[in-house]
Structure 1
Amino acid sequence: MMSGIKKVLIILSITGCLGSLVKAQISPPGLGDASTAFWSAFGVKRQLDSLGKKQALSYIAIGRKSSPDNDNLFSKQAIFVLNHEVYHSFAPHQQYSYAISYRRQPQYESSAPYNKESTEQEFRVYGRYAYTFDLGRKWKLKNTVRQEFRKFFDADFHQVEEDFQFRTRIKSQITYNVSPVNNQKLALSAEALFSISHLNEPDSQWTAFGYREMRIAAYYMFTIPNSPFTVDIGYMDDLIRDSKSIHKGGVHYLAADLIWNIPYKKQ
């Protein structure tokens, strides 16, 4: 376990020594064990004040995934998400946000033919703090700490094996401004996830706090000319500890989202 944590810290340090994004993309969630996955979101981002320091982002999204033994990233429904987050840039280079989220996720058997077993619902609240460094004219580095509380239910709102979870996420993202034409950017990020859970079954107990996942992503972002829309296209590799997919280099995601940017209007 210690060697795994050391690898996580090394990757985060390397990413930190390189740059980030105030207008961040909608990153894919973890979709469990698979070979490949697809994530797509449509968001509405609103400016809440005339100074551009407060924003709100609401989005709806779906995810598809393959089974662990094939590469058809659209073969199985993976997740449905509704999310609302409010951001406040309260000081130079500093930002905090808070959010509420609902997720509905099918659960599949762990062995072939990987049939659907059940449906799990999740309600999530989280807050995050970010500090952005300007590294020259074109480079930015954003380091983020995010704390989550996750509560789980089955499809009928009955308790499931995992009652609730506290999860800590630490992320570094470097962003390069490719061109002011269509506001083109490239971003590279690494995120480590640590958690502790309270279980209902087989007995009421806590799991040990520890490292669970590493998510490495690369994104290309641009604004559609003469429109209020921003497009983000990316790739993510989700390295899940003790999973089948970890032996194949992780779960490989293709991601795309469309964001409608609405400027501030005085009431």
Structure 2
Amino acid sequence: MNKALCLLISLLFLNNFLQAQISPPGLGDANTAFWSAFGVKRNLDSLGNKQTLSYVAIGRKSSPDNENLFSKQAIVVLNHEVYHSFDPHQQYGYAISYRRQPKYESEAPYEKEGTEQEFRLYGRYAYTFNFGEKWKFKNTIRQEFRKFFDADFHDVDEDFQLRTRLKSQVTYHLSQKNNQKLALSVEELFSASYLNEPTAKWTSFGYREMRIAAYYIFNIPNSPFTVDIGYMDDLIRDSKSIHKGGVHYFAADLVWNLPYNK
């Protein structure tokens, strides 16, 4: 009886890991980039329908004249999100995020010229289709409000931005052993910004970039941890990198899942 109960809890535990993938943010124009996050995921109820995911992450990127993905510090992120699966196929979430990002000169030797801070609020809604026991197709719409400051909390050229993200992801369950999965996704981003400089005005709302990603997801045996290892190609409209096939990201995330505790 105890073994059966432990097995049931483990299966529920592993199922939650499917949602734990932490996708890289955009790090601007570059050749290559690296993203790594450590997250803590907590069940807020005994069924696992309500959860939180908090994570800290760093990103690094290459200079425009090399391929070294660890060349320059790119971003530090603190993020906290709440999820609610209110239906077997439907889920919503909301989050708050802080991001600190160095800015570099556009000409060699590409020295650091400042720091930009961002505070972000967003909400998302997702609907998942199940095809048999192995395939899942998830569509997500995410609406963001992004507010920007310099290192001293003064206004910058771009005051704030409204951004809409549309993402489709296919997940295939590779094996029961270590709960291995493969996730493929495509995300399109549209935005409009309010500018302080050179004159106060709105930019037009339009398509900005596309992110294509592939992730291998597995559970570390006999532990509450899951690992995501992935690749993302960020195709930024009107950027230099788009002529080289986009910005090529390599990512590795570790998530610690905490069960429900009254």
TM-score, structure 1 as length reference: 0.91
What residue is the counterpart of 1:139 in the other structure?
135
Per-residue CA shift, 1:204-244, capped at 9, x if unaligned?
Answer: 00001000010000000000000000000000000000000
Instruction: Tell whether 2:138 aligns with 1:126.
Output: no
Structure 1 unaligned regions, length at least 5? 1-20
Correspondence 1:71-220 to 2 at 5 A: 71-220=67-216
User: 1:164 is matched by which residue type in structure 2?
Assistant: F
Structure 1 counterpart of 2:7: none
**Letter aligned with residue 144 of structure 1:** T
* Matched residue, 1:17: none
Q: Quick one: distance in 1 between partners of 2:131 and 2:209?
A: 28
Give 1:90 shift: 0.8
Which string of whole-angstrom CA distances, capped at 9 and with x for unpartnered residues, describes residues 47-70 of structure 1? 000111000000000000001221
Picking from 245, 261, 265, the partner of 2:257 is 261
How far apart, in 1, do the equivalents of 2:112 and 2:158 lie? 18
Task: Report the Cα distance in structure 1 between the residues aligned to 2:176 and 2:49, rounded to whole angstroms.
Answer: 21
Shift of 1:109: 1.3
In the TM superposition, residue 22 of structure 1 has moved relative to its aligned partner by 4.7
Contact 2:20 2:255 in 1 (8 A): no
Question: Which of 209, 219, 223 lines up with 1:223 in the alignment?
Answer: 219
Deviation of 1:180 (Å): 1.1
Task: Give the aligned partner of residue 3 of structure 2.
Answer: none
Displacement of 1:73 in angstroms is 0.3
2:232 corresponding residue in structure 1: 236
Corresponding residue for residue 44 of structure 1: 40
TM superposition outliers: structure 1 runs of 4+ over 2 Å: none
Q: What percentage of residue pairs aligned between the two structures are identical?
A: 82
Q: Check conservation: 2:103, 2:112, Cα contact below 8 A.
A: yes
Q: CA RMSD in A?
A: 0.9
> Offset at 1:115?
1.2
How far does residue 24 in structure 1 lie from its aligned partner after superposition? 3.9
Q: Secondary structure at the match of 2:68?
A: coil
* Separation of aligned partners in 1, 2:253 and 2:141: 23
Please name the residue that 2:5 is paired with: none
Query: Aligned ranges for residues 51-62 of structure 1 at < 5 Å?
Result: 51-62=47-58
Residue 30 of structure 1 pairs with residue 26 of structure 2: yes
Report Cα offsets for 1:78-123 as digits up to 9, x if no partner: 0000000000001120000000000000011122221111100000
Contact 2:96/2:122 (8 A) holds in 1: yes
TM-score, normalisation: structure 2: 0.93
Does structure 1 conserve the Cα–Cα contact (< 8 Å) formed by 2:233 and 2:248? yes
Question: What is the CA–CA distance in structure 1 between the aligned matches of 2:52 and 2:190, rounded to whole Å?
Answer: 27
Q: Tell me, in whole angstroms, the C-alpha distance in 1 between the residues paired with 2:208 and 2:38.
A: 28
